């Protein structure tokens, strides 16, 4: 079945860039998503990328997609303490979403 | 405000209790979802409803019983749960479940503890 993998933890210093990586197995995925979950809250869509794109930029967020290697990354520029959260990668090839385990981003002052 | 609300936000219940979780969306969407988020597992899809019809039951035990009376409301009825069912239960909605680009909007979740 489909599978999505992420590293579980990432720590960065405030002001540095964060890069969160994700790999997926379903080559038919048409859209890939990044969601953010803050403590005590549900998931919030951050950004998405269509599978025929290799890069998408949205303010401080840059998504890179390597479709050949089935590798997706999210770069957060000038990381702030408010960016501390769990980030989920998700793919949708069939009808339903498959989420990764989430990467917990800690931003150190 | 995500447009998806869930009540209660926290619930503690014994294994013999019966309780219900409620989800309501104010976005005019036609698809609604229940997910289970445990501490050590990826987000697990439980049920999908599209236009009030159940289209997915992801091998969920019968002690969880969903109900979707209309496109705006989704319930999860709980009975004789086990301690391992303790988790955050997230509801989501989307315009429909069949579109390829299909942003899901999540509620804040119900934190369930089964004693």
Instruction: Verify whether the Cβ–Cβ distance A45 to B103 is below 8 Å.
Output: yes
Contacts of B43 (CB under 8 A, 6+ apart): A43, A88, A99, A102, B35, B36, B37, B90
pLDDT of the residue at B40: 75
Which residues pair with residue B31 across a beta bridge? B50, B94
Specify whether the CB–CB gap between A77 and A62 falls below 8 A.
yes
A82 φ, ψ (degrees, to nearest 5): -70, -10
pLDDT tens digit sequence for B87-105? 999 999 998 766 666 788 9
Q: Is A102 exposed, middle or buried (0-12, 13-18, 19+ CB in 10 A)?
A: buried
pLDDT of the residue at A3: 87
Q: Is the link from the previous residue into B67 a cis peptide, with omega within 30 of 0?
A: no
pLDDT of the residue at B2: 54
pLDDT of the residue at A94: 65
For chain B, percent of residues with pLDDT exceeding 70: 94
Confidence of residue A19 (pLDDT cuts 50, 70, 90): very high
Chain A hits for B102, CB-CB cut-off 8 Å, are 31, 92
In the predicted model, is pLDDT for residue A95 greater than 80? Answer: no
For chain B, percent of residues with pLDDT exceeding 90: 70
Tokens 């720590």 sit at which residue?
Answer: A11
In the predicted model, is pLDDT for residue A1 greater than 90? Answer: no
Q: Is B74 exposed, middle or buried (0-12, 13-18, 19+ CB in 10 A)?
A: buried
Question: What one-character-per-residue DSSP string does B8-47 give?
Answer: -SEEEE-TT-EEEEEEEE-S--SEEEEEEE-TTS--EEEE
Q: How far is B55 from chain A (nearest CA, A)?
A: 10
Q: Give the span between the Cα atoms of B8 and B111, in whole angstroms.
A: 8
| pLDDT: which is higher, B96 or A10 | A10
Instruction: Verify whether the Cβ–Cβ distance B42 to A99 is below 8 Å.
Output: yes
In the predicted model, is pLDDT for residue A10 greater than 60? Answer: yes
- Summarize the confidence of residues A3-28 as an average pLDDT: 93
Chain B hits for A31, CB-CB cut-off 8 Å, are 100-102
**How far is residue B84 from each of residues A7, B36, B67, B113, B114, measured CA to CA in Å?**
25, 12, 22, 9, 8
């Amino acid at each position: 079945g489909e599978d999505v993998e992420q590293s579980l933890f990432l720590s960065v210093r405030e002001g540095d860039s964060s890069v969160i990586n994700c790999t997926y197995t379903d080559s038919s995925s048409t859209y890939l998503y990044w969601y953010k979950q803050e403590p005590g809250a549900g998931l919030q869509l951050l950004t998405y990328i269509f599978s025929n794109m290799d890069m998408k930029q949205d303010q401080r967020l840059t998504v890179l997609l390597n479709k050949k290697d089935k590798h997706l990354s999210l770069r957060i520029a000038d990381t702030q303490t408010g960016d501390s959260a769990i980030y989920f990668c998700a793919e949708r090839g069939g009808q339903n979403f498959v989420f990764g385990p989430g990467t917990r981003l800690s931003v150190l002052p | 405000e995500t447009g998806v609300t869930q009540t209660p936000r926290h619930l503690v219940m014994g294994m013999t209790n019966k309780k219900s979780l409620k989800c309501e969306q104010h976005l005019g969407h036609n698809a609604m979802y229940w997910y289970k988020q445990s501490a050590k597992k990826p987000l697990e899809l439980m049920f999908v409803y599209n236009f009030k019809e159940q289209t997915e039951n992801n091998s969920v035990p019968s002690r969880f019983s969903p109900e979707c009376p209309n496109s705006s409301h989704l319930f999860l009825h709980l009975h004789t749960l086990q301690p391992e069912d303790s988790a955050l239960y997230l509801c989501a909605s989307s315009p429909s479940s069949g579109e390829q680009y299909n942003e899901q909007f999540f509620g804040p979740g119900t934190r369930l503890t089964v004693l």
